[in-house]
Amino acid sequence: MRNTDKTLTPTDVSQGSPRRLNFRVLVQSLLLAVIAAAVLYTVFYAGNTDMSTPDPAPLNETAPGP
């Protein structure tokens, strides 16, 4: 049984919960950050768009001679 008439200090209070809620929040936040990074990588770097593949330089056009 728990002793309910004990005065808790700030150190005692901050020791965490037995249900590991802080650990669950940490794991869920980390997973969300990894998913967000993967989505951003896919949007910005994985596509083959016109911006990511510019046209080659023209070969026949040169500056006029002197």
On whether the pTM is more than 0.75, the answer is: no
Confidence at residue 37, expressed as pLDDT on a 0 to 100 scale? 95
Q: Say yes or no to pLDDT of 52 above 60.
A: no
Q: Is the pLDDT of residue 38 over 80?
A: yes
Q: What is the pLDDT of residues 15-35, one digit of tens each?
A: 666 777 888 899 999 999 999
Q: What is the pLDDT of residue 10?
A: 77
Burial class (CB in 10 A: 0-12, 13-18, 19+), 31: exposed
Residue 13 has pLDDT above 60, yes or no: yes
In the prediction, which pLDDT does 8 show? 77
Report the half-sphere exposure of 61 (CA within 13 A, side-chain side). 3
